[in-house]
């Protein structure tokens, strides 16, 4: 499978402008023979702090479906989803006019300057999904920092993990170096779950936040096979052999003895003892 990582900027709250940006990236990806193009988190709406005037759109919005149908290749793109009473930070996997999968961000940072729970409700489900190019899973930014989520997707058969992100330079690098932490995290996720990891971060700025890019592709052995530059727009194209995940799992069968019943029992015990359900 040939995948394109669209490391783009976006305009906060301007859906039409962001669709135009996405269409240019899709056209460039198609010219290079890409079969899938992955955009960052919230690439159609931007990342809000404080109040946001961005109107959410339903997953079946004709502008979104029309964009994907016109693309001619599979597209993963992020937006603020209108789901009636709630809005979600949502990623959609679209293949032509077909909505293959929706992932609603599960873990919404709500500390320091972050206030995603002010704008979004957390998602309530996690599923791997089948595509024309193999079985995939999706996590949005902070989701990937929960170590059990990639494991669950791998147990559900995911061979490729998509991680669209809005990651910024940290204000206190002595406490957290975003670049280094993400690099090591992605390599660990790929290695321990023996799958491909496709990480797509945005660039540009919103207010005082500066997004650093550095999108990358990591193979099932944890090796970085493609990487975008820092703090500049880029379209990176990489060829990945999805079957390499299955081969790696046969060579080193780390995942087959998961003992899911044991995990379920211990999780229930922790919840019964007052853990957050």
Predicted confidence (pLDDT) per residue in 69-89, tens digit: 999 999 999 999 999 999 999
Q: Which CATH superfamily is domain 2-272 in?
A: Carbon-nitrogen hydrolase (3.60.110.10)
Burial 79-94 (b: 16+ CB within 10 A, else e): bbbbeeeebbbbbbbb
**Domain residue ranges in the chain:** 2-272
The residue to which tokens 């990651």 are assigned? 167
SS3 79: strand
Least confident of 137-141, 170-174, 252-256: 170-174
pLDDT at 199 exceeding the cut of 90: yes
d(CA 257, CA 255): 6
CA dihedral 141, 144, 149, 150 (to 10 degrees): 120
pLDDT-based confidence at residue 112 (cuts at 50, 70, 90): confident
How do residues 253-268 score in pLDDT, each as one tens digit?
999 999 999 999 999 9
Least confident of 216-220, 264-268, 273-277: 273-277
């Amino acid at each position: 499978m040939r995948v394109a990582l669209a490391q783009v900027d976006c305009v906060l709250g301007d859906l039409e402008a962001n669709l135009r940006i996405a269409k240019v990236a899709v056209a460039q990806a198609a010219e290079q023979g890409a079969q899938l193009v992955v955009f960052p988190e919230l690439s159609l709406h931007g990342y809000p702090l404080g109040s946001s005037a961005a109107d959410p759109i339903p997953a079946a919005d004709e502008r979104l479906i029309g964009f994907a149908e016109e693309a001619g290749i599979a597209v993963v793109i992020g937006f603020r989803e209108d789901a009636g009473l709630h809005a979600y930070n949502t990623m959609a996997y679209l293949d032509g006019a077909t909505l293959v999968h929706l992932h609603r961000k599960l873990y919404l940072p709500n500390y320091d300057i972050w206030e995603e729970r002010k704008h979004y409700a957390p998602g309530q489900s996690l599923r791997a999904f089948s595509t024309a190019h193999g079985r995939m899973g999706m996590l949005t930014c902070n989701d990937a920092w929960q170590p059990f989520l990639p494991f669950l997707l791998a147990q559900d058969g995911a061979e490729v993990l998509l991680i669209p992100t809005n990651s910024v330079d940290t204000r206190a690098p002595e406490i957290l170096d975003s670049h280094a932490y993400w690099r090591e995290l992605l390599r660990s996720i790929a290695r321990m779950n023996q799958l491909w990891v496709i990480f797509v971060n945005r660039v540009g700025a919103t207010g005082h936040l500066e997004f650093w890019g550095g999108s990358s592709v990591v193979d099932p052995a944890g090796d970085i096979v493609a990487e975008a530059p820092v703090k500049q727009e880029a379209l990176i194209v990489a060829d990945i052999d999805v079957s390499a995940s299955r081969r790696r799992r046969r060579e080193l069968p780390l995942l087959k003895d998961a003992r899911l019943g044991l995990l379920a029992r211990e999780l229930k015990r922790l919840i019964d003892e007052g853990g957050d359900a």
